[in-house]
Structure formats: C-alpha cells, structure tokens
Chain A
C-alpha cells in the first residue's frame, strides 16, 4: 500500500439474484486525489460505492480504508468516510442545523465540536443564513449543498460523492464542484461518481470507466484518450504565406493540412505543442488571427470502449 493511500478496493463483486451488478472492480485512491467512476445509469456505480461505504454487503472482494479492512460492521472505517448519497438524504421537517447536528453527533462528534463544525460546514456550503430554516423550504440546489455538507462534518479522509450534482441548477452545481476541488486541495481523497463527462474531466485526477459492472479502462483523462488513439487538433486561422511545411517539420506534429486560410494541426498534446506551433507560424511570416484547440473527450473514449454514448 502506498504511504498516502486512503482507499483500496480489490475484486469487488455483487449480484442481485441472477443480475451481476458489479464484477471484479478494483481501484485505489490516494490522499488529495479525486477518482471518478464514470458510467451511464445502471453501470454499477452506486452499487460499487455502497459496498465501499459499508452500506451494502458485498459478495466478494476486499475494501481497505486507511489500510484497514472495511465492511458494513466496521465503525472504524465508517468514521473515516464521508458519504454523500445520490438521493437527498435529509429530514425535511428538521432545520438545516438540526440535520447537521444529528449526523455530526451520529459520527461521534461532541456537542462543542459539533457546534463548531456545523458553523464551518454551513459556511462552506453557503447556507449560514438559512441554518434555522426547515429543509423542506429549501430549493433543490440548497438541499444538494446541504446534502454535501453532511458528508463533510467529521472531516473524513475519504469522501464518497454519488452524483452530487444530479438535477441541480448551474449555480449550485458550480458551487458544489468548487467545494469538491477545494476539499481535494486540502488532502481529502474523493471518490466521485457521475455520468456527466464534463464534471469528470474538470474534477478527477484519474477516472475509471465503468460499464455493466466492470471497469473497462482506468487512468488520467490523457491516458484514457491515448488508449483509444485519438489526437488533439489545433485549428489556426492565418493570413500570409504557406505555413504547412514548417508545421509538418515540428516533432510534436503528427499531421498538418491547410485550406483557404485554415490550418489544421494534429498533435498528441495540444497544451504542450501549441507554443511551438504558434512560434513556427510566426517564424514562417504568417499572421495568426485565431486559434482553436479541440481535445478528444471522455465521451469519445466511452463510445470507443463500450460502443454506446455515456448518457444511454
């Protein structure tokens, strides 16, 4: 186990009758790392994280939290996990503060510590001014933020987020994503499930692509894209002499074509190649009017690996 490894799961299996929901799923997450489980509805994401959170008994496999075996009866492990379920797991008749207090106390926080953490969490999720209001009076986005806040109360080293932005407005969604990024920055290991490709690309250091209960591929976004052999595309809008031969001479460039002032350059890593490409264009005496960068996304990776779109 790596020194800062917070979660390791190995060959997780779960079946419901004849339906195999999860088969031989395994991955590890280090402190400060955000790991995304990306897959369409029904892929097995929630079943996987339910087993990791200790909510669901597993049929096979192993879960280690901070190096210790973890399961439904492991209170030690559960103290180190913050779980934010996909559904809003809040009591609507209670106020935001009462909801937070209940879960804080349930996670073993003393009265004084709970009070302090509740105030901190309310500030993090932007609900300080609504702390004494009943949750049933909240908007969907506010409920989502509070739902996230409950998972943060006991400062868990591992935070499990099951589609935390499902059905929220763009503003709340952005607030949630920023909070998650900040938590990762503070060293929290985050397991994040989503079927929103943009979220996975924005937040996750590594991504596991899950389909039909199995991990089809795993790695950084770039590694996944490389896995399917797709290249980044830089499109230049230019004025001046022909620049294509100069660009083709660059080692980073796999291919370059030009037509009526538009030059398309295929590279492995647009971020690294772009300065050289622009430099070569300038050296060739052309004026670059516009630059567009197109990186292959996880949608295309998913399509390539599973033969279907992510939102199927």
Chain B
C-alpha cells in the first residue's frame, strides 16, 4: 500500500505541475458551472412549464387532482398552474404560448369516477417538456384513481370520501424513477459533470503507457514493488482526480446555480460509484491501446459515444426506444438517473439502483482491465 500511495502522490504531483489536473478538475468544471450560471440563470424559472386547468366539472375528484397532484408540483417549481374557466380559454392560452399544456376536465368527470364509469381527462399540447409533464402527472393520477376505485369496491359500504382517507399508494411527486426530472441547469451541469469525468479519469490508468513512452516504466518495474501496486496506484490516481473534479463541479453548481442535488449521502455514493465506473471503462479502453496517444484517442471516442448515448446532450426520454435501451449500457445514463432519483422534496436518501448499476460497471470493467494489465506493464 505504501508503494501505491507513493506512486499516486507522484502522479498527482506531476498532474499538478503540468497543470492538467488543475485544468480538468478545477478550471473546466468551474468554467462550465459559471457558463451554466450565466446561460441558465432565469431560464429555469421560465422553463417551469405553465399548465392551464379548465375545470368544467367542479367536483371533488378534480379538486383532489388540483390540490394533491398539481399544487405540490407548483410549490416544487416543476410547473406553474394557471386555472382557466373554459376549454376555449385553455386552448387559446396554449396556442398563444401562454401555457405549455392544458388540462380540460369535462362536466360529470367526478361523478363518472366515483361511480366507476369511464372518465376522460383531456390534455392540450403537442410535444415538449410541458406536455410531457402534463401527461405524466395525468397518467399517475389515473393510476391512483384506479386504486381508489378498487378500494371502494373492496371496502364494504365505502364511500368516495371514505376511500380518499385510505393512504395514497403513489404520490404525484413520487413518480416512477425514470420520470423524475432535474431542472434544465441541473441536467446540463450533471451531464457535463459525468461527461468530463471520463476525460478527468482517463489519465489514471493510461499513464502506464505514458511511463512506458517516457522510459520511466522500466525503472518502476525494477523497483522492489509488486506490479499490482503500480496498476492500483494508476487506477486510484484517476479515481481521486475524478472525485475531486466532480465534487468541485457539483459544489460549484449548487453555489452558483442553486442546484439541489439531493441527500449528500446518496449523491456522495453515486459520485464515487460513477467515478469508479468511469475509471474502469477508461482503464479497460487503455488496455486495448498500444501507445499513450492511441489510448487517448480511443478513450475520447468512447467517452463521447457514451455521453451521447447516455443522455448527456439529449435527454434519454427524447432519444426513443432503441436508444433509450442502449443508454442503459452507459454509466452516464445511470449517473444521471441516480441524480434524478435523488432530486426533489420527497426523494430517497440514496439511489440504490443506479448506484449498484454503476458499481457493477466498475467491477466488470476494472476486473477485465486488471486481467489485461500485464501486457501494459512491460518496458
């Protein structure tokens, strides 16, 4: 372990001296955070979509929908709710761009729901974030209504009022994980964090190839230290740099952008898991290369490809079925998913699924890389 720490300290000192660590861990993340701050400050407030609600029913179900589903989202800054009187008014608001989407509740909606008959909640709006959110909220509410209907059928002599006292199985704010959303600025900051993370950690393992090119690998191999200590040191150097860079970027985003990343424990675990996964992937790619230059090129290609597929530049929801499925093969997707899971008022303290997925990435890629490292540790 002593040798590992010595090599790590030397590598980090080198990176500090040649300013590459400074650039990757501080300047680029801070620079990006500052750019995000300038570009997205105010946009987020505008970006919270306005959803109009035309209540032509006036019954208890609609009241419950507005108070229990829509108002909490409004308080959370996810939407802005604009009650309107008529369907025509709602449609005009959407057409004029004053609202991103609108709900139209037809007369008799509450009665139909409470009597177990089919009821339709209309949504106005084509595409975009507002319509997407409106649809997601409505679908979730519909699911809840179905649950209440089942409860009514089961509870002997139950009434609608009685059934609503039954604890809600799904809160609107606790939508399925893939539907939870980061704000625009948070999404970009998180995307850039994981994107640059891959470039930050890439020098770790591939510095074995740098050492070979510069002739120092022979001297390291001649030193009385196990080869595994050298490989481990290279890997951990990337991990340390990656954790530092990501922590800086996320802290800067929180300070400059007001980003809320979620519970520190969950975010910390996710970041460490993400860094381990990124280090593993980059290490594996490095073992395929013959030279440091080749490794750098391959790693850049992999980092960009994974970034694109993983939803760094375009949200996964907008990528479509095949791409969305492919995105599951990238650490980026799981990292962003984890941050989304941790986001929001009632979010859990940890995101076990994404964290474990990232750790699985790390275990597999690092394991294979270490199996192949012997061919790199030659003079």
> Nearest Cβ in chain B — how far from A122, in angstroms?
18
Cα separation A93 to B19 with both chains bound (whole Å): 10
Of chain B, the residue at the smallest CB distance from A82 is B222
Query: Nearest Cβ distance between residue B147 and chain A, in whole angstroms?
Result: 64
Enumerate chain A residues within 8 angstroms of B220, measured Cβ to Cβ: 106
Instruction: Known A72-B227, A73-B226; judge A93-B18 contact (CB<8 A).
Output: yes
State A76–B13 Cα separation when bound (angstroms).
28
B216 contact set on A, CB distance < 8 A: 89-91
Contact B222 A81 (CB under 8 A): yes
Q: Is A192 interfacial (CB 8 A cutoff)?
A: no
The docked-state distance in angstroms from the alpha carbon of A81 to that of B378 is 18
CA distance A284 to B215 in the complex (A): 63
Complex Cα spacing A150 to B225, Å: 16
Q: B75 at the A/B interface (Cβ < 8 Å)?
A: no
Q: How far is the CA of A92 from the CA of B10 in the complex (A)?
A: 12
- Give a binary string over B89-103; 1 marks a CB under 8 Å from any A CB, 0 the rest: 000000000000000
Are A56 and B219 interface neighbours, CB within 8 A? Answer: no
Interface contact A98-B13, CB-CB below 8 Å: yes
Pair A55/B222 contact, Cβ less than 8 Å: yes
Q: Which of B163-210 contact A (CB under 8 A)?
A: none
| Beta-carbon contact of A85 and B226 below 8 Å | no
Within 8 A of A (CB), among B1-31: 3, 6-7, 10, 13-14, 17-18
User: For chain A residues 92-151, which have a beta carbon within 8 Å of chain B?
Assistant: 92-94, 98, 102-103, 105-108, 134, 150
Please, which residues of chain B bring their CB within 8 A of the CB of A87? Answer: 214-215, 218
Q: Is the pair B224, A75 in contact by a Cβ cutoff of 8 Å?
A: yes
Q: Are A107 and B379 in contact (CB under 8 A)?
A: no
Bound complex: CA A54 to CA B225 (Å): 11
B322 close to chain A: CB less than 8 A: no
Closest B residue to A98 using CB positions = B13
Residues A54 and B3 in contact, CB atoms below 8 Å apart: no
Whether the Cβ atoms of B3 and A106 lie closer than 8 Å is yes
A88 is an interface residue with CB less than 8 A from chain B: yes
- Which residues of B from 199 to 245 have beta carbons under 8 Å from A? 214-216, 218-227
**Which residues of chain A are near B221, meaning CB under 8 Å?**
54-55, 72
CB-based contact B226/A106 at 8 Å? no
B217 to chain A, nearest CB (A): 8
Which residues from chain B contact A85 at a C-beta distance below 8 Å? 215, 218-219, 222, 379
What is the bound-complex CA distance between A76 and B90, given in angstroms? Answer: 83
* B224 with A108: CB separation less than 8 A: yes
B10 touches A102 (CB 8 A): yes
- Judge whether B13 and A94 touch: CB under 8 Å: yes
Decide yes or no whether A277 CB sits under 8 A from chain B. no
Q: Could you say which interface size class chain A belongs to?
A: 20 to 34
Contacts of A54 in B (CB 8 A): 221-222
Q: Is the CB of A106 within 8 A of B6?
A: yes
Q: How far is the CB of B291 from chain A (nearest CB, A)?
A: 15
A50 to chain B, nearest CB (A): 6
Instruction: Check if A302 is an interface residue, CB within 8 A of chain B.
Output: no
Best-surrounded residue of A53, A92, A102 (most CB of chain B within 10 A): A102
Contacts of A56 in B (CB 8 A): 378-379
Question: Given that A55-B222, A87-B215, A150-B219 are contacting pairs, would A93 and B379 also be in contact in the complex, using a CB cutoff of 8 Å?
Answer: no
Bound-state CA distance A90–B220 (Å) is 11
Flag if B218 contacts A55 (CB, 8 Å): yes
Is A55 in contact with B226, judged by CB distance below 8 angstroms? no
- Complex CA–CA separation, A91 to B10 (angstroms): 9
| Contact B226 A107, beta carbon cutoff 8 Å | no
| Alpha-carbon distance between A79 and B3 when the two chains are bound, in angstroms | 14
Q: For the complex, what is the distance from the CA of A253 to the CA of B13, rounded to whole Å?
A: 67
Are A102 and B226 within 8 A (Cβ)? no
* Cross-chain contact of A102 among B6, B18, B218, B224 (Cβ < 8 A): B6
Beta-carbon contact of B218 and A83 below 8 Å: yes
**Contacting residues, chain B, for A233 (C-beta < 8 A):** none
A89 near B224: Cβ-Cβ < 8 Å: no
Partner of B14, one of A73, A78, A94, A105: A94
User: Which of A81, A91, A106: most chain B Cβ within 10 A?
Assistant: A106
B residues 232-260 in Cβ contact with A at 8 Å: none
Closest to B16 in A: A93
CB–CB A78/B222 < 8 A: yes
The residue in chain A whose Cβ has the minimal distance to the Cβ of B374 is A57
Complex: A307 Cα to B379 Cα, angstroms:
31
CB closest chain-B residue, reference A84:
B219
- Considering the complex, give the chain B residue whose CB is closest to the CB of A93: B17
- Which 4 residue pairs across A and B have the least CB separation, nearest first? A87-B215, A75-B224, A78-B224, A93-B17
Identify 9 new A-B residue pairs, CB closer than 8 A, beyond the known A75-B225, A85-B222. Answer: A50-B379, A72-B221, A76-B224, A89-B219, A90-B216, A94-B13, A102-B10, A106-B6, A150-B219
Interface residues of B (CB under 8 A from A): 3, 6-7, 10, 13-14, 17-18, 214-216, 218-227, 378-379
Contacts A/B (CB < 8 Å), 5 sampled:
A72-B221, A83-B222, A93-B17, A94-B13, A106-B220
